[in-house]
Structures are given as structure tokens and as C-alpha cells.
Chain A
Amino acid sequence: AQSVTQPDIHITVSEGASLELRCNYSYGATPYLFWYVQSPGQGLQLLLKYFSGDTLVQGIKGFEAEFKRSQSSFNLRKPSVHWSDAAEYFCAVGPPTSGTYKYIFGTGTRLKVLA
């Protein structure tokens, strides 16, 4: 069955520290991969996406993610977290072939940043 797992429900880091949010997927083929962020009262904002090519992708707000096919992972990283990064982060997969448009989401990781 197709699924996305974000094993960390909550993560707390100090401002300025590095961050890694984990995402693993189970899918029949290599899907398209996305990270979204949701700040309180805001919609799901796209941080970055991977379709093909370079497995290290850069996104907005200084985030990057690395696709590792062998591990079926697409972990999100940031070298130095800012207080404004406190939010909920969602990993999602999209279908690489026609016939469906739906994204499959993980349960999200809520990030808390300590001053």
C-alpha cells in the first residue's frame, strides 16, 4: 500500500541549531516528492519538490532535502533554524504516472524552536 511515514511527531531544537526532519515512503514506483509547511492560521506552503535529476533539492527559506532511493527517504534539512521556522511540516508524495492526481501525506512533524 502507498504510504508516507514521518516518524517524529514533535521535534524541538534551539535557534541556530541544525534540523533534519525524516520522511520515508512506500510506493510502487519512485513518486514525486514534496515538503509543505503549515504555520498557524496559514495554508500548506510548498517548501520544495523532487521530480528527477539531482537528488539534493533546494527550497525556500533555506531548506533542502535529499532523495535517497535505496532508503525510500526524502529528509528535510536546514543548517541553522530560525524562530520563525516553528510550524508543522508535511511530507507528501505525488503519482509519477497518469490515472490519479492525489497526493499522499505523512502525519506531519511539529517543530518547536527554543530561543
Chain B
Amino acid sequence: EPEVTQTPSHQVTQMGQEVILRCVPISNHLYFYWYRQILGQKVEFLVSFYNNEISEKSEIFDDQFSVERPDGSNFTLKIRSTKLEDSAMYFCASSGGVLAPGRETQYFGPGTRLLVL
């Protein structure tokens, strides 16, 4: 069964450093997403991406964050200058993009646990 993959599974970085989290969505999917979960808190939406541009972003997704689909398979989340509060589990997801929003099931990857020291 096709699945979303994410690398690395864990990342430790120093405050102020840039990190890039990588995702390979399911191959025929058109919509891509990033969510995050701070320890003990809810899974929160960050951004959705379609047709090589951001289709929606949350208030969390400020100028420090960017997303990119650098090639036909990868989808990346870059955090430009990490802060302590960026420590979280980051989930990538993808959906087919054929049906109406919400009716499309989003398929999630295993997550990248980011720790900012």
C-alpha cells in the first residue's frame, strides 16, 4: 500500500539554525500538507500546498517557515531560524485532490521529531 514517508525521523538542532524536513507524498496525490504536534498538545495545521503554491496556511506559518516541492517527488518544510518553541513532531500528509475538500482523506507520514536546543 502506498504511504507517505518522512526523513529524518529525529532531528536535533541548535536555536537559530535552519532545518529542512523532507517528505515523499503518495505518488499520484496532488495536495500536500504539514501539521505539527507540540508535546502534549493538539496536532495543528501549518500549511497546504497545491499546484506549486501555498493554498492555505495557519497563523503559525509565519515568515520563518517555507515549503517547496523541489522535484516531482519531494515536499519540504524549511524553518529558517529555529526557536525553542519549534520543538515538535512534524507530520507531512497528502491527499488525492480530486474530491471536495474535507472529503479527501489525508494520508499521514510517521513524522519527524524536531528538538531545538
A interface residue numbers (CB < 8 A to B): 4, 31-32, 34, 36, 41-46, 49, 51, 90, 92, 94-108
For B33, the chain A residues whose CB sits under 8 A away are 101-102
Residue of B nearest to A41 (CB): B110
Chain A to chain B contacts (Cβ below 8 Å), 19 pairs: A4-B42, A32-B103, A36-B108, A43-B3, A43-B4, A43-B91, A43-B108, A43-B109, A44-B93, A94-B101, A94-B103, A94-B104, A95-B101, A98-B100, A100-B56, A101-B55, A102-B45, A103-B45, A105-B35
The A interface is mostly helix, strand or loop, or mixed, namely: loop
Residue of B nearest to A3 (CB): B42
Name the 10 nearest CB pairs between A and B, nearest first: A94-B102, A44-B108, A102-B45, A105-B43, A43-B110, A95-B102, A32-B102, A43-B108, A101-B101, A101-B48
Interface size class of B (residues with CB under 8 A): 20 to 34
Other than A43-B109, A100-B101, A101-B56, give 8 A-B pairs with Cβ distance below 8 A: A41-B110, A94-B102, A98-B101, A102-B33, A105-B35, A105-B43, A107-B41, A107-B42
Q: Does B65 contact A (CB under 8 A)?
A: no
